[in-house]
Chain A
Amino acid sequence: MLVLSRKSGESIRIGSTIVITLLDSRGGESRIGIEAPPETPIYRNELYLKILAENRKAVSGKNPTTLIKKIIHS
């Protein structure tokens, strides 16, 4: 992981099109501004990881046909 220190108001540029700015910091929480092309998906990482885990769970479940019947008959 690349680690950089920034003061409030300072930025980091990723590639040529993404700029991350530390807006302010207070009590262990910081507001971060992100400029990126509109097609760039931006997520709180914990949410992305939650979806990732759910996708992996969905792949690993085997032979669900009896359970599918339950939905169809409800």
Chain B
Amino acid sequence: MSKENWIVNFQYGLPGFESLTSFSINNIPEYEPFCVFQSQEEPDVSMIIAEPEVIQLNLKNYIPSEIKKQLEITSDSELKLFIIFCFNNEKHLITANLKAPIVINSVLNIGQQVILDNPELNVNYQVVKGISE
């Protein structure tokens, strides 16, 4: 699925943005594989996301079957996962939210942000520790 203005519907919005149900995913030119995840209703609400493989992580096995059922995902090829990145320019710190990935059915273009129970998954996993330029 090409990540060019891919529109995904989030029935329940996201924690903190419960009223926003339509988001686009677009590649960031020159910064593959990172994408912009942007609300169609409130364009100021946008985040940087990427598939977990960008930090050598496979989260597919952590997704509960109940979630796959709700998103009508019947095969792995329909399942697309993204993690949200947080950039702290002052501290030169990048963290990734492994605990609440974005789970998408890439055929029906519906998704949810799913909160995973596993204690080993960190909400602010340090991708790049503070490095001074």
A interface residues with partner B (beta carbon < 8 Å): 38-39, 41, 43, 47-48, 50-59, 61-72, 74
- Give A23 to B50 CA distance when docked, in angstroms: 42
Secondary structure call for the A interface: helix
Q: A55-B47, A58-B86 are in contact. Are A70 and B113 (CB under 8 A)?
A: no
Bits for B18-34, please: 1 = Cβ < 8 Å to A, else 0. 00000000001001001
Contact A61 B45, beta carbon cutoff 8 Å: no
Which B residues are in CB contact (< 8 Å) with A51? 15-16, 97, 99-100, 113, 115, 123
- Give A56 to B18 CA distance when docked, in angstroms: 12
Contact A55 B92, beta carbon cutoff 8 Å: no
In the complex, number of A-B residue pairs with CB atoms less than 8 Å apart: 84
- Give A64 to B36 CA distance when docked, in angstroms: 11
Contact A53 B54, beta carbon cutoff 8 Å: no
Write the nearest CB–CB distance from A22 to chain B, whole angstroms: 23
